[in-house]
Amino acid sequence: MDERKRRLVIAIDGPVGAGKSTAARRLAQALGYIYVDSGAMYRAMGWKARQAGLDLHDRGRLVALAAATDIRVVAAAEGPRVLMDGKDVTAALRTPEMDEASSVVSTFPEIRRRLVALQRAMAKEGGIVMDGRDIGTVVFPDADLKFYLDADLTVRAARRFQDLRQTGTPIDLDAVRVEVARRDERDRGRETSPLTVAADAIRIDSTARDADGVLRVMLEAVQHVLKPDKS
C-alpha cells in the first residue's frame, strides 16, 4: 500500500489534565481519523452502575452489569458521542462524581477486559486516535505510534478546574488538586493495566506547551511514520 494512504492506529496515554483529549481530537481531525475517548467508556460504565444503584465496590454485580452493556463511541459534528446500549449519555459523564466512579470501576480486571474488547473492535480498519491510560501498553501494544502526554500537577489541576467551571460545577481549585492527585495515584497504582509509559512511546510534556505546540510534535511524528525515508 502507498505509505501515505496507510491509516494508522495512534495511542495517547497520560494522567488527568495532561491535555490528551484536546490533542487526540485535534490530531484525529487533522488526519481525517476517528477519535475515541476510552475514558468516556469507563465513565459510561460508572454512570450505569450509579443509575442501577450499585455499590461501586460490589465487584460481582458490577461485572455482571458490564457483561450486559454495550458501549460505543461514535463521531458527530459536535464531537464524539458515547452511546450506552444505544442511548446517548455523553452529557452526563463529565462530572466530579463520574471522575470518581470511572476511576473505581476501572480497577476491576473483568470490566477492563470487556471494554478493551470493545475498544479493539473499533480499531479494526485503522485510522483511529484513542486516548486513555493503557492504550499503548495493553489495548494496542502494536500501535503504529504511541504518545505519552504529561504535565506538572499544578498545571493539570488548573486545567481540570477550568473544564469543571465551564460545565458550571461549583468547585474550588484546592479540592480539584486533591482529587486529581488521588485519581493519579489510583490509576497508577492499580494492579491491572496501571498507567505507565510504554517503552516505545514518544513523551511530550505539555506543562509549558500549548495545544498547537503539542499537535505540531504529534504531526511531525506521524509524518515520520508515513514517510520514513524523508527523515
Q: Using the rule CB under 6 A, is 38 a contact of ligand DC?
A: yes
User: Locate cell 498507567: which residue?
Assistant: 195
Q: Using the rule CB under 6 A, is 133 a contact of ligand DC?
A: yes
- x/- binding map, residues 159-188, to ligand DC, per CB under 6 A? ------------------------x---x-
Question: Which of 223, 31, 214 minimizes the C-alpha distance to 129?
Answer: 31
By CB under 6 A, the count of residues binding ligand DC is 15
Q: In sequence order, what are the residues at sequence separation of 6 or more whose Cβ sits closer than 8 angstroms to the Cβ of residue 78?
A: none
19 in Cβ contact with 147 (< 8 Å): no
Which CB, 106 or 206, lies closer to ligand DC? 106
Pick from 19, 39, 80, 136 the residue near ligand DC by CB under 6 A: 39
What letter does residue 108 receive in the DSSP assignment?
-
Q: Using the rule CB under 6 A, is 43 a contact of ligand DC?
A: yes
Label residues 45-56 b or e (16+ Cβ within 10 Å = b). bbbbbeeeebeb
Which CB, 144 or 227, lies closer to ligand DC? 144
Q: Which amino acid is at 53?
A: G
Pick from 9, 10, 33, 42 the residue near ligand DC by CB under 6 A: 42
Residues at the interface with ligand DC (CB under 6 A): 16, 38-40, 42-43, 102-103, 106, 132-135, 183, 187
